[in-house]
Amino acid sequence: MTSQRAGGLRVVLAEDAPLLRTGIVTVLESDGFQVCAAVDTADDLREAVRVYDPDVVITDVRMPPTHTDEGIRIAIELRRNAPGLPVVILSQYTSVGSLHQLLDRSADTGRGGLGYLLKDRVAHVRHFVDAVRDIVSGATLTDPEIVVALVGDSRRRGVLATLTPREEEVLGFMAQGLTNPQIAQRLVVSEAAIRKHVGGIFAKLPLSGDGDRRVLAVLAYLNESCTGPT
């Protein structure tokens, strides 16, 4: 499903704000994506995915009729029906109250790429289109501002409490999609030191052996971060 087809990667977009919807279409098409459909409701998104079988879905969190979490709920449904379907969630706010629903392992949403990005990212055209391509390739990316908010939540408890402050910092960078060399550069340490921290993270978190441990660690981090006390 995620292999590039003739005419560029196929996108179905759901965004109820007409101006932003048009802007996202323009940004994507200018970078070679093929926007098959640009809709404004969850029902229309469901139908467009059925018709066009896209390589990636990009959806707003809040859409008609309730303007609450329609985007999250339709993303869960779509990934249940097509495990591995890459999905990019766009949010206006750093709130992560509904993110755990999408990351819940019991939801059986597949292991395809997943992104949770702030809409402000769209204004940074190069960063946005690069993030979409990375997600299509299987990456799990979360907007840095959301990660910062999660890292700063001192009330978080559970399995993450077993991590050292440095390991949690490294895991936060992993959640932003950074590689080991990039994390080493951010923290001004050696790559060997980062590999040691990543190994410690893998050893301490209860990760199943049937998937990419880096992705599973990020999912565990995000899931616990947004389901903990508020």
What are the tens digits of pLDDT across the range 148-164? 665 555 345 566 778 88
Contact 43, 70 (CB under 8 A): no
Q: 193-220: per-residue pLDDT in tens?
A: 999 999 998 888 776 554 467 766 776 6
Give the right CATH number for 147-227 from 1.10.1370.30, 1.10.10.10, 3.30.565.10, 1.20.1260.10: 1.10.10.10
* pLDDT of the residue at 51: 97
Reduce the DSSP state of residue 97 to 3 states and report it: coil
User: Rounded CA gap, 3 and 183, in Å?
Assistant: 29
Over range 45-54, report the average pLDDT. Answer: 96
Reduce the DSSP state of residue 89 to 3 states and report it: strand
Q: Band of the pLDDT at 59, cuts 50, 70, 90?
A: very high
Instruction: List the CATH code of the domain at 10-142.
Output: 3.40.50.2300
- Answer whether residue 98 shows pLDDT above 90: no
In the chain, what are the domain boundaries?
A: 10-142, 147-227
* pLDDT of the residue at 180: 92
User: Angle between the 191-204 and 213-227 helix axes, to the nearest 10 degrees?
Assistant: 60
Q: Is the dihedral of CA 217, 89, 93, 41 positive or negative?
A: negative
